[in-house]
Structure 1
Amino acid sequence: MAAEVVGGALLSAFLQVAFDKLASTQFVDFFRGRKLDEKILGNLNIMLHSINALAHDAEQKQFTDPHIKAWLFSVKEVVFDTDDLLVEIDYEITRCQVEAESQHQTFTHKAFGHDSSTTFIKYNYYLTHN
C-alpha cells in the first residue's frame, strides 16, 4: 500500500511539473517555431487535467477494485511516457538556446575582430617578428 501512495504522490508531482511546462512560453514558442499544431499542447493539457481529476479517487479505489488498479497502472505508464517526451522537448529547447547563444557569440567576436584564429595569427606574427 505504501508503494501505491508514493506512486500517487509521484504522479501528482509529475502532473504539476507537466502543467507548468505546458503553460510555459518556451514550450509554446517551440511548437510555433517548428510550425507544429498547438492544439496538441491543448489536448495534452486537457488529458493531463482529466487524469489529475480522476487519479486521486482512483488511488483510493484501486485497493477494492482490480479494474481501477489496472486502469491506474496503465495511466501511470502513459503519464511517465509523457514525462519522457516533455524531457526530450525541454532538452531540445535548451540545445537550441545554447546553439543560438553560441552563434551570437561567434558573430559578435567576428564582427568586432575577435575571431580566435585571427588573434592567434596576429600573436604568432608578433612573437616571430619582435
Structure 2
Amino acid sequence: MKAAVGGAFLSAFLQVLFGRMASREVVDFFKNRRLNDGLLKKMKTTLISVKSLDDAEEKEITKPAVKQWLEELKIAVYEADDVLDEIAYEALRSEIEAES
C-alpha cells in the first residue's frame, strides 16, 4: 500500500513538473540564457519516459533494483523541482529589477 501511495504522489508531482516546465518563466529562462532548447526537450522526454510508474511500483516490492531506481527517480524529480524553483526566483528577480 505504501508503494502505491508513494507512486501516486510521484505521478502527481510529475504532472506539476510538466506544467512548470511549460511555463513562460522556464521557457524565457532558457531563451534568455541562450540555453539549447534541446536541453528542455530532453528534460521533458526523460520525465515522460518515467511517467508510467504502475508496473515499477508493483515490482519494487520483489525486486530491489526497481526499488532503488524508484528512490533515485524521486531524488531526481525533487532536484528538478528545485531547479524550477530557482528559475522562477530568477524570473521574478529580473522582473522586479526591470520595474525598478
Structures share fold, TM-score greater than 0.5: yes
Question: Alpha-carbon deviation of 1:14?
Answer: 1.6
Q: Which amino acid aligns with 2:69?
A: W
Match of 2:26 in 1: 27
Question: Alpha-carbon deviation of 1:90?
Answer: 1.3
Question: Alpha-carbon deviation of 1:7?
Answer: 2.1
Contact 1:31 1:37 in 2 (8 A): yes
In the TM superposition, what are the counterparts of 1:73-88 in structure 2 within 5 Å? 73-88=71-86
Shift >4 Å, 4+ stretches = none
Contact 1:61 1:68 in 2 (8 A): yes
For structure 2, the residue ranges without an aligned partner over 5 or more in a row are none
For structure 1, the residue ranges without an aligned partner over 5 or more in a row are 104-130
Between the aligned residues of both structures, percent identity stands at 46
Question: How far apart, CA to CA, are the structure 2 residues paired with 1:34 and 1:11?
Answer: 30
Question: Alpha-carbon deviation of 1:25?
Answer: 2.4
Q: How many residues align?
A: 100
Contact 1:14 1:83 in 2 (8 A): no
The structure having more radius of gyration, on CA atoms, is: 1
Q: Which amino acid aligns with 2:82?
A: D
Q: What is the RMSD computed on CA atoms of the aligned residues?
A: 1.4
